[in-house]
Amino acid sequence: MYKTLRKMFHRYAGRFVALVITLLLATSLWQLASAGWIQAKAVVAQQLLQQSWQQTLDDGRIHKPWRWADTWPVARLEVPALNIEQVVLAGDSGSSLAFGPGLSSASHLENGQGPILISGHRDTHFRFLQQLKTGDRLHLQTPSGTRYYTVNSFKIVDSRLFHLSVEYDTSLILSTCYPFEAIGSGGPLRYLVLANLSD
């Protein structure tokens, strides 16, 4: 009986190992495909957003990038030093940030009185924030014209405690989750790039 059990173990052990290896490979491929899908979605979305932004500039009306979109382009952010150009969306909810950087509803985009806060994901659209340096120029195009900003400082803040205040009235603030290489998401820390209005 012992020999029979031993033969059965050897016969099925190989199959079990093969099954485990197959499952591990399938899981790895699925994870890689998911990560690739997020990156691809971000790139394709920016192309559709560029088209709808151009339509907004042409006629001054809101143009959704696709019929079922719950957001639309409100500005274009350019970072000449890094060759970055991104369409900014209305709102900074998760559904907006999946497709591009989003303008906070607390911002004062059109009248220019008060801070402008734009948020983006650290692993897609706002990954470049960690490369910015003091003195870098930022251009923010809106339907009413282009404003120019100069990066003057960086801050790491707790999002539960940070509030826009009068000290940021002439600032463009770019915000993303921090740290950049964190494994998990949804932590309270934010990396802020502060830029002042300039000529």
What is the predicted pLDDT for the residue at 20?
65
Rounded mean pLDDT, 165-177: 82
Q: Which residue has the higher pLDDT, 20 or 114?
A: 114
What is the predicted pLDDT for the residue at 58?
93
Split into its structural domains, the chain has a count of: 1
Tell me whether residue 153 is in a domain: yes
Residue 71 sits in a domain whose CATH number is: 2.40.260.10
What is the predicted pLDDT for the residue at 17?
62
Tell me whether residue 106 is in a domain: yes
- Put simply, whether the predicted model's pTM sits higher than 0.75 gets the answer yes
Structural domain of 63: 35-198
What is the predicted pLDDT for the residue at 98?
86
pLDDT digits (tens, 9 = 90+) for 39-74: 666 677 778 899 999 999 999 899 999 888 899 999
Q: Which amino acid is at 16?
A: F
Tell me whether residue 81 is in a domain: yes
Tell me whether residue 24 is in a domain: no
Tell me whether residue 6 is in a domain: no
- Of 75, 87, 59, 80, nearest in space to 146 by CA: 75
Q: Which amino acid is at 71?
A: T
Tell me whether residue 59 is in a domain: yes
Tell me whether residue 3 is in a domain: no
pLDDT digits (tens, 9 = 90+) for 110-162: 766 678 999 999 988 899 999 999 999 999 999 989 999 999 999 999 988 88
Tell me whether residue 124 is in a domain: yes
